[in-house]
Amino acid sequence: MRAFYGTELANPLMLGTAQYPSPAILERAFQDSGAGVATVSLRREGAGGAGQSFWQMIRDLGVQVLPNTAGCHTVKEAVTTAHMAREVFDTPWIKLELIGHTDSLQPDVFQLVEAARILTEDGFQVFPYTTEDLIVGERLLAAGCKVLMPWGAPIGSGRGLANEYALRAMRAEFPDVPLVVDAGIGLPSHAARAMELGYDAVLLNTAVARASDPVAMACAMMQAVRAGQMAHQADPIEARDMATPSTPVIGKAFL
């Protein structure tokens, strides 16, 4: 199994922590599913100290924390946010998001490469939220990234793998690089498909948090990524157009 900056994950599900109906449901979604990586963010602290109780809960879960730079639109903003996140969360991991388009939340890949280079030189271990573009992937690796996280579909859209052909090409192009499908997953079948393609993990949030029963959906996603991973390792058959009988023809009775 490919390691993420030297860390081997116990399972291939990375789960976001936003939009759950309550902190208790968020907690149970992690506990019952067993998801081992939690994405988190930084926002303005209020007088009530809401951030502190959230941080306590995440710490008690004992999961690996992956802070993001969600909502950043410039290199400077993202780099500053990353530095603040490293101090608060005490980890070199950073999910680098540089948003280029307001409606699709498509990554601005030009700024992404630049920010990735700056952060890598500063000792960060960057998880870039990118598109499925192979050249951008190469540039990110050249900038020092050792993980790539192409989108499945726009964040929160639940559309699944919008460009499966390109995701398969990316897997083939970067056989040694840990790859994560990040964003766009709506159903367990989407998550399973990503794993069947040979991806190393799936990162999702909305599909679980906004389901009527987030705890059950988190567990369903875990079963899906495990099934997809096992299927990939088992080396599935190629699809074909014509039938081939599965029951032996030899020995069939003459009736």
Question: Using CB under 8 A as the criterion, which residues of the chain lie in contact with another protein when the complex forms?
Answer: 16-20, 26, 39-45, 47, 49-52, 54-55, 58, 67-68, 70, 76, 80, 83-85, 87-89, 155-156, 183, 205-206
| Whether 161 contacts 184, CB under 8 Å | yes
Tokens representing 202? 């799936």
Instruction: State the nearest-atom distance from the C-beta of 66 to another protein, in Å.
Output: 9
- Calpha distance 155→129 (Å, rounded): 11
For 135-189, give the secondary structure using H, E and C. HHHHHHHHCCCCCEEECCCCCCCCCCCCCHHHHHHHHHHCCCCCEEEECCCCCHH
Classify 11 as helix, strand or coil. coil
- Calpha distance 93→123 (Å, rounded): 10
Of the pair 42, 63, the CB lying nearest another protein is at: 42
- Calpha distance 147→12 (Å, rounded): 14
93 membership: H or E segment, kind and range: strand 93-96
Instruction: State the nearest-atom distance from the C-beta of 130 to another protein, in Å.
Output: 16
Classify 99 as helix, strand or coil. strand
**N residues, the chain:** 255
Instruction: State the nearest-atom distance from the C-beta of 170 to another protein, in Å.
Output: 22
Of the pair 86, 171, the CB lying nearest another protein is at: 86
State yes or no: is 76 an active-site residue: no
Of the pair 80, 104, the CB lying nearest another protein is at: 80
- Calpha distance 76→71 (Å, rounded): 13
Instruction: State the nearest-atom distance from the C-beta of 189 to another protein, in Å.
Output: 20
Instruction: State the nearest-atom distance from the C-beta of 104 to another protein, in Å.
Output: 15
Of the pair 80, 233, the CB lying nearest another protein is at: 80
Tokens representing 146? 């050792």
Of the pair 1, 45, the CB lying nearest another protein is at: 45
Could you list the active site residues?
95
